[in-house]
Amino acid sequence: MDIYLPEKYQTIPVKLFVLVILTVFTLIITFFSLSVNVQVVFTHFYYIPIILAAYWFTKKAIVYTIFLCAFYLVLVYILSFHNLQICLEALLRCLIFTGISSVTAILSMTIKNQRKKIKESEMLYRAVWENVQAGIVLINPEDNKIISINPEALKITGFSESEVLGHVCHKLICPTLAGNCPIRNKSLKIENAERIALSKDGKEIPILKTATAMQIGDNEFLIECFIDISKIKEAEATLLGYIREATLRIRNPVSLVKNNLTELKKDLNDKTINPEYFITTLSVQEKHMEEILKNLKEIEQAVAEKHTEIPEELRNYLKRE
């Protein structure tokens, strides 16, 4: 079972307070134990403040350990009446204390560095997750329930996070019926495919979608990534409209010119026809060609005026008289 210590108890003042209490207790028990000639048992209490100090304060804890050892050695030297063997045993214990403090400090620094890297990685992931200009949805393949959804996906669909988390994706943001999922039920791969997403009000939104299964540890997830292509579809529809209009406005004049030129070609073989007739006929065809060019020019100008995404240089060219 994991034990979680609240943030308010993990501050520097709280740690210092705990360490001071343990230090005072250790110093007092050291003095009384040595006073009654107890040399071994009480020294086990040193491990608690030494290890905590090394874990919390790393390198600074080594200085703290040296201070405790110095106090301990001085008391042993005084209260043991300069017994060399007892002093050597105490010195050996101090070396062990210092070694434990150093090892714990190194391990603590390693743990803190790893935690820092994990935190930075989480911050980077969070920044990408929240700011990427694409909707991302994480789904549990076992029940098709939405586990996580990023802000862009919420923006595209119009839902709030609470309205989708824990809910089945079918008929919520995806029009596919339950049991007919192309990835989970049909083992298909969706990569940059045009699909439909559902908005909160039931509106169908054209999207460009990629969906795939991924493994995280022992768990498998479905991840969907999509972008809204509504504006692209609108632009395509507008373009088709312009093409249809251009076709209608040009087809008749072009057909008329073609028919007239065919007739003119036949008339060229008839030498009884006055040359003025040919001049008049060609003048009429010239007018028809001018009408075609005029129609094309009007369409170009309409496109330039309605589409702000066109570069300024090209816009000026299209709008030229």
Please provide the average confidence, as pLDDT, over all residues in the chain: 80
For 172-222, write each residue's pLDDT tens digit. Answer: 677 766 666 766 666 666 777 888 888 888 888 898 888 888 887 788 888
Q: CA–CA separation, 42 vs 33, rounded Å?
A: 7
pLDDT at residue 317, as a whole number? 46
Mean pLDDT of the region 134-147:
88
| 303-308-310-312 Cα dihedral, nearest 10 degrees | 110
0.95 exceeded by the pTM? no
Which amino acid belongs to residue 244? Answer: R
Find out whether 31 and 68 touch, Cβ atoms under 8 Å.
no
Q: CA–CA separation, 202 vs 224, rounded Å?
A: 20
- Confidence band, pLDDT 50/70/90 cuts, at residue 123: very high
Residue with tokens 């057909």: 255
Q: Please give, one letter per residue, the 3-state secondary structure of the chain.
A: CCCCCCHHHCCHHHHHHHHHHHHHHHHHHHHHHHHCCCCCHHHHHHHHHHHHHHHHHCHHHHHHHHHHHHHHHHHHHHHCCCCHHHHHHHHHHHHHHHHHHHHHHHHHHHHHHHHHHHHHHHHHHHHHHHHCCCEEEEEECCCCEEEEECHHHHHHHCCCHHHHCCCECECCCECCCCCCCCCCCCCCCEEEEEEEEECCCCCEEEEEEEEEEEEECCEEEEEEEEEECHHHHHHHHHHHHHHHHHHHHHHHHHHHHHHHHHHHHHHCCCCCCCHHHHHHHHHHHHHHHHHHHHHHHHHHHHHHHHCCCCCHHHHHHHCCC
Is pLDDT at 311 greater than 50 in this prediction? Answer: no
- Confidence band, pLDDT 50/70/90 cuts, at residue 68: very high
For 104-116, write each residue's pLDDT tens digit. Answer: 999 999 999 999 9
- Confidence band, pLDDT 50/70/90 cuts, at residue 267: low
Which superfamily does 132-228 belong to?
A: PAS domain (3.30.450.20)
For 73-103, write each residue's pLDDT tens digit. Answer: 998 888 877 788 888 988 999 999 999 999 9
pLDDT at residue 66, as a whole number? 93
Find out whether 76 and 86 touch, Cβ atoms under 8 Å.
yes
pLDDT at residue 102, as a whole number? 94
Is pLDDT at 223 greater than 70 in this prediction? Answer: yes
Q: CA–CA separation, 196 vs 171, rounded Å?
A: 11
How are strands ordered across the β-sheet holding 145-149?
145-149, 135-140, 219-228, 204-216, 190-198
For 160-174, write each residue's pLDDT tens digit. Answer: 888 888 888 876 677
Q: Give the gyration radius of the chain's Cα atoms.
A: 42
pLDDT at residue 300, as a whole number? 65
Is pLDDT at 302 greater than 70 in this prediction? Answer: no
